[in-house]
Amino acid sequence: MADRPETDTRSFMQRWLPHPLLTLVLIALWMLLLNSFSAGGLVMGTLLGVVIPIITSNFWPERPPVKAYGKAVSYMALVAWDVVVANVQVARLILFRRADQLNVRWVTVPLELRSPEAITVLAGTITMTPGTVSCDLSADGRSLLVHCLDAPDAEEAVRQMKERYESRLKEIFP
Amino acid sequence: MTFLLELLIAVLIVLGGIFALIGSIGLVKRPDLLTRLHGPTKATTLGVGGALAASMLFFFGIEGTLSIHEVLISVFLFLTAPISAHFIAKAHLHEHVELRADLPPTGREHGWSTFDGLPESHDGEQTEQAPRG
In sequence order, which residues have a C-beta less than 8 Å from that of residue A69 and are 6 or more positions away? none
Query: What is the nearest CA distance from B126 to chain A, expressed in angstroms?
Result: 8
Query: What is the nearest CA distance from A88 to chain B, expressed in angstroms?
Result: 8
Whether residues B34 and A135 touch (CB distance < 8 A) is answered with yes
CATH architecture for the domain at A69-172: 2-Layer Sandwich (3.30)
Q: How crowded is the C-beta side of B7, counted as CA atoms within 13 Å?
A: 4
Whether residues A138 and B108 touch (CB distance < 8 A) is answered with yes
Is the pLDDT score of B102 beyond 50?
yes
Please, which residues bridge with residue B90 across strands?
A: none
**pLDDT number for residue A118:** 84
Task: Select the residue from A93, A98, A138, A165 to test the B interface by mutation, using most B Cβ atoms within 10 A.
Answer: A138
Is the pLDDT score of A116 beyond 70?
yes
**Structural domain boundaries of chain A?**
12-56, 69-172
Give dist(CA A151, CA A100) in Å, integer.
13
Give dist(CA B39, CA B22) in Å, integer.
8
Asked if A81 has any chain B CB less than 8 Å from its own CB, the reply is no
Whether residues B89 and A124 touch (CB distance < 8 A) is answered with no
Give dist(CA A157, CA A130) in Å, integer.
10
**pLDDT number for residue B11:** 93
Nearest-CB residue to A147 (from B89, B106, B108) = B89
The dihedral through the CA atoms of B106, A64, B121, B93 has a sign that is negative
Is the pLDDT score of A8 beyond 70?
no
For residue A107, give the 3-state DSSP assignment: strand
Give dist(CA B97, CA A32) in Å, integer.
44
Query: What is the nearest CA distance from B118 to chain A, expressed in angstroms?
Result: 6
For the stretch A53-104, pLDDT in tens is 888 877 776 776 777 778 888 888 888 888 888 788 878 887 887 767 777 8
Of A141 and A81, more confident: A81
Is the pLDDT score of A143 beyond 50?
yes
